Amino acid sequence: MIMTDHSKINAAKAALAYVKDGMCVGLGSGSTVREFIRLLGEKVKLGLKVTCVTTSFDSRMLAIEHGILVTETDAIEDIDLAVDGADKVTPDALLKGGGGALTREKIIDYNAKKFIVIVDESKVMDGVLEGEVNLEVLPFASPLIMKKLKDYNPRVRMAKAKLGPVISDNGSFIIDCDMKLENPKKIEQWLKSIPGIIENGIFTRFDMIIVGNEKGHRIL
């Protein structure tokens, strides 16, 4: 097993300690969350009782495969804990959405009573957060949004297995931009204010970032 796999498993194990019997758990997306879902499934087989809501079709299918009870948001009262990954992190903000599930991720993560981020060391950035910011947009609005964000090298994400753009689970386009986030919270809100942008991949509200490494984990 490669070192990164150990790191992801250790981050997932640390987050699992916050799951208690009877909780409703929000399951995020990504490779580190896949390890968390696998470990959670092992606990469920040993008698842990949890109900989960998921941020993506892939996470839903994986949870069901591991024997975890999955439901929809209209069937729950609260989300006690959300566990999700990230593409890049600093102590103040995250970049998420590389997998295209950013809107559902933010809905689940921001509505949870506690939101824990799990990553390996390769996702941690020093200094200012910068990189690819993912936007979920209404197809009708995409040409106007591309023009408004022309200074940030906007591009509609194209599908690899078919002709045409990537379509999100919500039927929307994904636009990727390059940004340096001197003030992540301000930019998150600015992007939210642009008509046609459903959601953006800047996350500034979370309770804990667990960083896994080969020997264990640390809290960022």
Question: How confident is the model at residue 158, as a pLDDT?
Answer: 87
Residue 203 to residue 220: CA distance in whole angstroms: 15
How far from 115 is each of 9, 92, 144, 149, 207, CA to CA, in Å?
18, 14, 34, 30, 5
Contact residues for 65 (Cβ-Cβ < 8 A; gap 6+)? 41
Residue 75 to residue 80: CA distance in whole angstroms: 14
pLDDT, averaged across the chain: 93
- 169 pLDDT above the threshold of 90: no
Q: Which residues pair with 209 in a beta bridge?
A: 117
- 3 pLDDT above the threshold of 70: no
* CATH numbers and ranges of domains, the chain: 3-124+204-213 (3.40.50.1360), 129-202 (3.30.70.260)
Contact between 83 and 14 under an 8 Å Cβ cutoff? The reply is no
| Tally of residues, the chain | 220
**Concatenated DSSP letters of 17-69:** TT--TT-EEEE--SHHHHHHHHHHHHHHHTT---EEEESSHHHHHHHHHTT-E
Q: What is the pTM of this model?
A: 0.91
> Would residue 45 be called left, alpha or beta, if left means φ above 0 and alpha means ψ between -120 and 50 degrees?
alpha
> In this structure, what DSSP letter does residue 157 have?
P
Name the percent of the chain lying above pLDDT 70: 97
Contact between 202 and 2 under an 8 Å Cβ cutoff? The reply is no
Question: How confident is the model at residue 4, as a pLDDT?
Answer: 52
Catalytic residue among 35, 65, 72, 105: 105
Cα–Cα nearest to 183, from 199, 201, 202: 202
The verdict on whether 105 is a catalytic residue reads yes
| Six-digit token string for 185 | 């919270």
pLDDT in tens, 145-155: 999 999 999 99
Q: How confident is the model at residue 1 (pLDDT cuts 50, 70, 90)?
A: very low
- 191 pLDDT above the threshold of 50: yes
Mean pLDDT of 99-122: 94
Contact between 157 and 139 under an 8 Å Cβ cutoff? The reply is no
Mean pLDDT of 194-206: 97
Rg value, the chain, Cα: 17
